[in-house]
Amino acid sequence: MRQIIVDFGTLHLLGHPVALRIYGYGLMLVLGFVLGIFLAQWRARRAGESPESLTHCGVLSLIGGILGSRIAYVIEQWDAQFAHGSLWEVFNITSGGLIYYGGVILATVMVLGYLRIKRLPIRRYLDILAPSMMVGLAFGRAGCFLNGCCYGGPCSAEAPLAQRFPMFSRPLINFANGAGPFSVSTDAPSPPYAAQYYNPSPRVDPDSRLVNAFVSRLVGEAGGGPRRNMLHPPRDLHGRLENDQLSVMFSPDAKARTMFRSVAGADGMLDASEWRQALAAADGVLRGSEHWDEAISFDRDGNGKLDFAELWDYLQLRRGMLTERFDADQSATLDAAERRRANEYLQADLFALAASEASAPVRPAQLLGLINALLLAGLLTWFYRFRKREGQVFCLMMILYPITRFMLEAIRADNEHNVLRGVLTHNQYTSMVLMAVGVVCWALLRRLDPSAGPTWAQRQQAAVRATHRVK
């Protein structure tokens, strides 16, 4: 899993941060588009058609595919994900969120419109494009694998090709200056890990992975409520800490107040920027293991800053939680040995802990989808030579792919389904409809001429001969 292939860091343009990154998902879409167009142009030359027209069809397919896939996903997930979010989230596809069938439908409509306007033989061009569509799908599934979306359901570790996804994805190449192995833009666990942690099934117990006190440091604890069950994003993590993490929270508040004044702003309060500066110093009121996202829950007046009283409440809550966790003799205080263990707990290298975490095994849904798409691309390319009527290659794709997609949906875990109980995913319903349309179109081809008309080369020759006759 590599959500980000290359992270160049962040460029600040006119005061606004601009991320400079090559995402795995987007890279696979581009590679699939380029290879798909190349193969379509090759088939077009062999068929006597214009490679340039296939390029236009390919561009329209790419635009329609991305727009249609995203529109379908937004419609499906509107209430759950987009209704109360920002408009930017609707257009942000860097983390996935595309439904293939939506892209196929819109891309097909746009290509049909182009072919109709240009008066090109529709059935012939669809046959030429069909194998390339499956090649593009194969690269899309590779993108899903890199991104972690469209994952399979839980399985045993001994299952063939069983996959484990990391807690957080690390860039393949990281030129950013941020601490730790993760990109500063990563703010959530990988989809399979998050799904298993926040919505555990009887077969996946999240506590089985958080097996010791050190790994539990990856979980938000302060402030109570939902935060106690949230996994810290990489921006909250840190490497190994050496200084005493307990000296401030166990000190008199007067001493801590003096240390607070040295890092607070002119208004006598800490904002997020000043908090980061205090953490970087790690020798004042903040020792390095504190988390802004936890502490800000103590902001009683809602101004996005913390005064000393609010910070002290946060630190004392942490003190109480640590005492409860490490007070082995139930004395309500920490002796030297207990305090040493508490310090080791807070000093743990969270980057290393997060890097070692992985999901429970899941079925290889993305890899099977990739293999399926390549097999279909090869089959369609082979059948192209033996078709009896133009249009049959595209119709065969409309019949075969929905069948395989229906079966592949059964091993995925990102949509609720139970075929035996008649609970199907939206993609399974769409598969049945498209397969029926493909069968009907195959039957209708018998009423049409086997050929869709003269090729582009023949039309060019006819135009030249007509010109000579006029002269």
Residue 273: Cβ within 10 Å count:
9
Residue with tokens 């696979």: 28
pLDDT of residue 439: 96
pLDDT of residue 451: 87
Residue with tokens 């012939």: 124
The DSSP output letter for 155 is -
How far apart are alpha carbons 445 and 440 in whole angstroms?
A: 9
Phi (first) and psi of residue 301, to 5 degrees:
-95, 0
How far apart are alpha carbons 73 and 70 in whole angstroms?
A: 5
Region of poorest pLDDT, from 93-107, 120-134, 242-256, 260-274: 93-107
Burial 163-199 (b: 16+ CB within 10 A, else e): bebbbbbbbeebebebebbbbbbbeebbbbbbbbbee
Of the two residues 462 and 226, the one the predictor is more confident about is: 462
Residue 321: Cβ within 10 Å count:
14
Average pLDDT over residues 208-213: 58
Residue 157 in tokens: 């570790």
Crossing angle of helices 253-261 and 308-326, rounded to 10°: 130
Domains of the chain: 4-157+360-456 (no CATH), 238-354 (1.10.238.10)
The DSSP output letter for 304 is S
Confidence of residue 253 (pLDDT cuts 50, 70, 90): confident
Residue 266 in tokens: 């002119």
Crossing angle of helices 392-409 and 122-147, rounded to 10°: 20
User: Cβ(64)–Cβ(107) under 8 Å?
Assistant: yes
Q: Does the pLDDT value for residue 105 go beyond 80? A: yes
Query: Rg of the chain's alpha carbons, rounded to an integer?
Result: 29
270-310 per-position pLDDT tens digit: 998 889 888 887 778 898 898 888 888 898 888 899 999 99
20-41 per-position pLDDT tens digit: 888 888 899 889 989 999 999 9
Q: How many residues does the chain have?
A: 471
- What H or E segment, with its residue span, contains residue 52? helix 51-76
Distant-in-sequence, close-in-space partners of 382: CB < 8 Å, separation ≥ 6: none
Of the two residues 396 and 318, the one the predictor is more confident about is: 396
The structure's pTM equals: 0.84
44-92 per-position pLDDT tens digit: 999 888 888 888 888 888 888 888 888 877 777 777 666 666 666 666 6
CA 10 to chain CA centroid, Å, is: 20
Strands 4-13 and 16-23: antiparallel
Three-state SS for 157-186 is CCCCCCECCECCCCCCEECCCCCCCCCCCC
The DSSP output letter for 13 is E
Average pLDDT over residues 205-228: 64
pLDDT of residue 205: 55
pLDDT of residue 71: 82
Average pLDDT over residues 12-16: 73
